Every structure is written in structure tokens, then in C-alpha cells.
Amino acid sequence: MEEKILAIIKENAGDHVDWMNEDKIVDKELIDSLDMVAIIGELSDEFDIEISADEMTPENFNSISAIVAMVSRLNEEQN
């Protein structure tokens, strides 16, 4: 899952950042709201989950591990 998420982030926000070791992705504005929207769309498609706007929080997107946790939680709730 981690690899797939990393690939989605790289595709949408570029690979100029060490995404795996970054834990302030949103706080440092390394992705903007349009990147986040694109990432959410692709995560929804890839993992067959519905991500609502309420999930668009820095806590859920500040690091790869936070995104993994969110996707796992939604997967558990919905599938």
C-alpha cells in the first residue's frame, strides 16, 4: 500500500521531496489543495474507498504513514 501511495503522490506533486521521511507535507505546503484533490481522487480509485471532504485534514495528509492509516481505516469501514 505504501508504495502505491508514494507513486500517487510523486505523480501528482512531483518527486523533488523525500516524501517517505517527510512528516509535515501539508504544514510546509509541499502539496496544495489541488494536489490534495488529485491525490484523493486517485486514492479513491486505487483502493475503492470513498474519501469525504472531512478527511482533508493536515493530520491525514502530513506524512505517508498518516495517509496509509487513513486509507486502512476507510478500507476497514467501507469494504
Partner 1 sequence: MSFISATFIVFFMAVILLYYLTPLKYRWVLLLIASYGFYLSSGVKVMLFLLFTTAVVYGGARWMESVRDHAKSKKAAKKTNKRILLLEALVNFGILFVLKYYNFIADNLNGLIGMFKYDFSMPLVNLILPLGISFYTFQAVGYSIDVYRGKIKAETNFLQFALFLSFFPQMTQGPIFRYGDLAPQLKEGHKFSLTNLKFGLELVLWGYFKKLVIADAASTAVTNVFGRYDTFDGMQVLIGMVLYAIQIYADFSGGIDMTRGIAQAMGINLVDNFRQPYFGNSVAEYWRRWHMSMTNWMRDYVFFPLTFAHFSTKIGKWGRHHLKTIGKQLPAYIPTFVTFMLIGIWHGAGWGFIAFGLYNSLIIIFSMALTPAFDKCKSVLHIPEEAFWWRCFQIIRTFAIMVYGKTLTRAASVHDALAMMKATLHLDFGMFFANMKSELIAVGLHGRQWVVLTAAILIFFTVSVFREKGVHIREAVSRKPLPVRWVLILGLLTAVLVFGVYGEGYSSSSFIYRNY
Contact between 17 and partner 1 per CB under 8 A: no
- Shortest reach from residue 71's CB to partner 1, in Å: 14
Report the C-alpha gap between 51 and 39 in whole angstroms. Answer: 11
Give the cell for residue 12: 501528482
Min dist CB 27 to partner 1, Å, is: 20
CA distances from 70 to 15, 16, 25, 60 (A): 22, 24, 15, 6
Contact call for residue 21 and partner 1 (CB under 8 A): no
Query: What is the spatial distance between Cα 6 and Cα 11, in angstroms, rounded to a whole number?
Result: 9
The interface mask with partner 1, positions 23-52, x = CB under 8 A, is -----------xx-xx-xxx-xx----xxx
Summarize as ranges the residues that interact with partner 1 (CB under 8 A).
Answer: 11-12, 34-35, 37-38, 40-42, 44-45, 50-54, 77-79
